[in-house]
Amino acid sequence: MQKDYAVKIDDYIGKMPSLPVSISKVLEVCDNMNVSPADLNHVISLDPVLVGRVLKLLNSAYYGLNHRVTNLVRAIIMLGINTVKNLALSSAILGTLPVNKNPKGISIEGYWRHSLCVGVTAKLLAKKRGIESKFHEEYFTAGLLHDIGKIAINAVLPDEYLLTISSADNDRISLFLKEEKDLGFNHCTVGQRIASAWRLGGPIADVIIHHHGTEYSGSHRDIIQTVELANYIASVNEIGFAGNRNPEKPAAEIWDYMGINENVFADIETSIIEEIDKAKVFLKI
């Protein structure tokens, strides 16, 4: 039975729309250390839909810019290449993800509120820890997309996933562990398949795959562990709901490495709620 589940998931992922070609070009040009604002503007401008999405986000309350931005080059200069790259990536992915209009396992509204919470919390933690501002949007994007594997499971196996979520709650174990036991895979491995299908790499893909503390030896540990903490904070404080009522507590060494403790939520709770409301614009593009 579990083998059939995996086949169904793979078939679903295989039929998902591809990311726009423009996004591949954006990621490719941004891999060049000598990329200029004009270079990034050129590849984004080839896709009018993407331009519209990026400008909508830039002019939203999420950024709170003093003046309306209509010139993409100016926006790239103001906010930085990495920020605009991640805006383009997140907007394209959210515009491509299939919409399950009749979910049974996880409420889509609750799922996205959880995802927004993890994204804004990861970004706030990055700010609090003194991470360079040009990387802040990467932390947000990684947090926003960390659970995309659940979208495929929820769509393909709604009845089975509802049972898995319920039994994880009853058994008081994490959904991550219960998925593996009941389905033969977890949302991180499914997320890895989606990332591979979309040719996503770098920190975003690593976060999707490793945000539950699985073994990792790459160079993106900081962002992975930040999202892991943000995910825990969102789940424990029940901001949104992505199916996990019994999150694994991050190891003590992660809190130590981050230089923060579990009381951090009290310090940033108001900012989290405010930023979630602003970030809802990502779901309307």
Domain endpoint, select from 64, 96, 128: 96
| pLDDT beyond 70 at 281 | yes
Residues 84 and 135 in one domain: no
Nearest partner of 191 among 210, 164, 218, 174, judged by Cα: 210
Specify the pLDDT at position 33: 87
User: Do the beta carbons of residue 255 and residue 262 sit within 8 Å?
Assistant: yes
Domain that holds residue 87: 18-96
At 252, which amino acid appears? A
Averaged pLDDT score across all residues of the chain: 92
85 and 166, same domain (yes or no): no
- 144 with 240, same domain? yes
pLDDT at position 101: 63
Give per-residue pLDDT as tens, 143-199.
999 999 999 999 999 999 999 999 999 999 999 999 999 999 999 999 999 999 999
The reported pTM is 0.94
- From the CB of residue 217, how many other CB atoms can be counted at a distance below 10 Å? 5
pLDDT band at 100 (very low <50, low <70, confident <90, very high): low
CA angle 143, 257, 177 (to 5 degrees): 50
The 8-class DSSP code of residue 18 comes to P
Which tens digit of pLDDT belongs to each residue from 127-152? 999 999 999 999 999 999 999 999 99
Domain edge (last residue) among 96, 131, 161 = 96
Section 214-235 average pLDDT: 95
Statement: residue 104 has pLDDT above 90? no
User: Are 207 and 159 part of one and the same domain?
Assistant: yes
Mention every residue, 6+ apart, whose C-beta is less than 8 A from residue 102: 158
Q: Is the same domain home to 82 and 104? A: no
Domain stop point among 79, 96, 113: 96
Question: Within this chain, do residues 187 and 209 fall inside the same structural domain, yes or no?
Answer: yes
Burial grade of 38 (CB within 10 A; 0-12, 13-18, 19 or more): exposed
Q: What is the CATH number of the domain that holds 231?
A: 1.10.3210.10
- Answer for the pair 188, 134: CB distance below 8 angstroms, yes or no: no
Letter for the amino acid at 20? P
- Residue 40 token pair: 């990034």
pLDDT in tens, 21-42: 999 999 999 989 899 999 999 9
* Count of domains for the chain: 2
Q: Report pLDDT for 79.
A: 87
Express each pLDDT in 35-64 by its tens digit: 999 999 999 999 999 999 899 998 999 988
Closest CA to 144 of 100, 207, 80: 207
Contact by Cβ (8 Å): 204, 119 = no
CA–CA distance, 169 with 241 (Å, rounded to integer): 13
Q: What per-residue confidence (pLDDT) applies to 103?
A: 63
82-99 per-position pLDDT tens digit: 999 999 999 889 988 877
For 161, other C-beta atoms within 10 Å of its C-beta total: 25
Same domain, 120 and 158: yes
**Residues 164 and 262 both lie in one domain:** yes
User: Cβ(185)–Cβ(150) under 8 Å?
Assistant: no
Same domain, 7 and 145: yes
Alpha-carbon span 191 to 195, nearest angstrom: 6
